[in-house]
Amino acid sequence: MPTTETLLGICLKSKPYREKDRLATFYTQTAGKIDVAIKNTRTPTSKLAGAAQTLSISQLQVRFGSRGKEGLGTLIQYQPQETFAPLFAKERLLLFAQAGAETLLKLSEGTAEDAAVYFQALRNLLHGLAFEAFTLEAELLWFLGFQAHCLDLHGLWADWTLLDAETAVSSNNVCFFSPLHHGLFSRKPTDDAQCVPISASTQQLLLLLSQSFPLPEAVKLQAFDAHPLPSLQKGFRFLRFYLENFQGFKLNSYALLETLFVS
């Protein structure tokens, strides 16, 4: 039986659909990821076209068919809430935001579990990039915090505690991350040819960010002092490896980001 619901959602992506419509994917606060058809958005007189603006937050009134939220909904009306216009004025900021949305799409595939915390994490990322980040270090720190936090929420950070407790944490120490064992080791495992080195300082940075996002001002300052841009870039490279090689995600926005700022 068809139902109509009101949902708060972030538009993750949209594309042309049929002759005059658009098909949009939203991440909603209570239902997780949904797909919605938006009628007549490709006509000059459309009153719903604004809902298809990517990375905007709207209150949506959506009609669902017999399959409910697992099927394709139809947008009836919407009320814009936040648009994050500064993201579209700077290519790097937009890529950070798109990379966050892309990761959330992968992690939340087919599930609405813990939708509210994922929704708030992405909202915090957009707020931080649009209104708080003025340097590359700040942007990258905020982005890494979001990524690590979402992986922690998804239960993919749990085995990081396998790091040898006797290993002193310093930028000179190197551990090895093993996809086969899904954990960190103080020396290279002999039975996993795919393991990669990760400095203990990078591991500690990602662990700190995953637990602290969104970062209080005091934590931000501490993180900047302890982790300059090269350290943040190492964290970015490791997260890209982890998501693409261990989780099997194809992340187009990561590749574009790397060409912009990773030396």
Domain range summary for the chain, segments of one domain joined by +:
3-82, 86-261
Asked whether the beta carbons of 24 and 56 are under 8 A apart, the reply is no
Dihedral sign for Cα atoms in the order 11, 214, 222, 201: negative
Helices (H), the chain: 91-107, 115-131, 136-153, 200-212, 217-226, 229-241, 252-261
Asked whether the beta carbons of 227 and 207 are under 8 A apart, the reply is no
What's 215's DSSP letter?
A: P
Asked whether the beta carbons of 132 and 86 are under 8 A apart, the reply is no
From 106, 100, 108, select the one nearest 124 (Cα to Cα).
Answer: 100
pLDDT digits (tens, 9 = 90+) for 62-111: 999 877 777 899 999 999 999 999 999 888 899 999 999 988 888 765 45
CATH number belonging to domain 86-261: 1.20.1440
Q: Which residue has the higher pLDDT, 258 or 37?
A: 37
CATH number belonging to domain 3-82: 2.40.50.140
Q: Would the CATH topology of 3-82 be identical to that of 86-261?
A: no
pLDDT digits (tens, 9 = 90+) for 178-190: 666 666 666 665 5
Asked whether the beta carbons of 144 and 209 are under 8 A apart, the reply is yes
From 9, 44, 51, 12, select the one nearest 29 (Cα to Cα).
Answer: 9
